[in-house]
Amino acid sequence: MNENEITQAIKEKLTQIEQRENIRILYACESGSRAWGFASPDSDYDVRFIFVRPVKDYLRVKELPDFIDAELNEVYDINGWDLKKFFKQLYKSNPVLFEWANSPIVYRTTQEWESVKAIMKEYVLQVAMIHHYRGMAKSNVRSNFSTTEVVLKKYLYVLRPILACVWIMQKHTVPPTEFSKLVEEVLPDELKPSVNELLEVKMKSSEKNKGSRIPQIDSFIEAKLNEATMFPVVDEEQENYEKLDKLFLEIVRQGA
């Protein structure tokens, strides 16, 4: 199938999930490499959705699952979060939620979701985001950069969280989802040709394509990891749950 047919198939799957699970999907998007802008020809479709249940389902003694694993195979990885679960993680300033909200590939949106997106900026904690992205970069370095030859896509999976850290440290805002915007804004010019070559290889070859280490990029990664580790820890006062509680109740009641 071509991209248009895949998109239509995903939209139909979302409708089927709503009917099967008796939920309302407020928002659905692409996440992972396709949203970041460096999918390989054999990359799957990582679809994430946010849903709400009928009011009565939130009043049960035994709570229903706050996560729906809808489909997982070689083509599709589709799962969703209950809005309550989403809000709990938003309170912790989980960067993944902001990546979903700012995904360039959206399969479903609603006016209710716009209300959610509007409130998200009030729950941004820079230190929490730095910690998340720094940890992600370190984990990928440890597991993939112990030899002189590496799976080339792994460079991108290290560079993306590194550049997200740099973005936060320099701009003090939520980093964009698209890798190209991070490269354009915060990657040093002398590294851009090498990174563009990596992108070209990644997007034209399989997920397991290997190549030699790139010392210039290795040095940049090490330097920025150290800089992110030294990022000053400050006390950031988080908003309380009141606004989230109010919006959650409004959205659930709208489906009653």
For residue 68 the two structure tokens come to 């729906």
C-alpha span between 28 and 231 (Å, rounded)? 34
Q: Which helix (H) or strand (E) holds 20?
A: helix 3-21
Say what the pLDDT of residue 182 is.
97
* CATH number for the segment(s) 3-123+238-254: 3.30.460.10
Domains in the chain: boundaries:
3-123+238-254, 126-229
Burial class of 126 by CB neighbour count within 10 A (0 to 12, 13 to 18, 19+): middle
What's the pTM? 0.93
> What is the per-residue burial (b if ≥16 Cβ within 10 Å, else e) of 163-182?
bbbbbbbeeeebbbbbbebb
In this structure, the dihedral spanned by the alpha carbons of residues 145, 148, 151 and 152, taken in order and rounded to 10 degrees, is 100
Residue of 42 and 54 predicted with greater confidence: 54
Alpha-helical (H) ranges within 205-241 are 215-229
pLDDT per residue as tens digits for the range 88-128: 999 999 999 999 999 999 999 999 999 999 999 999 999 99
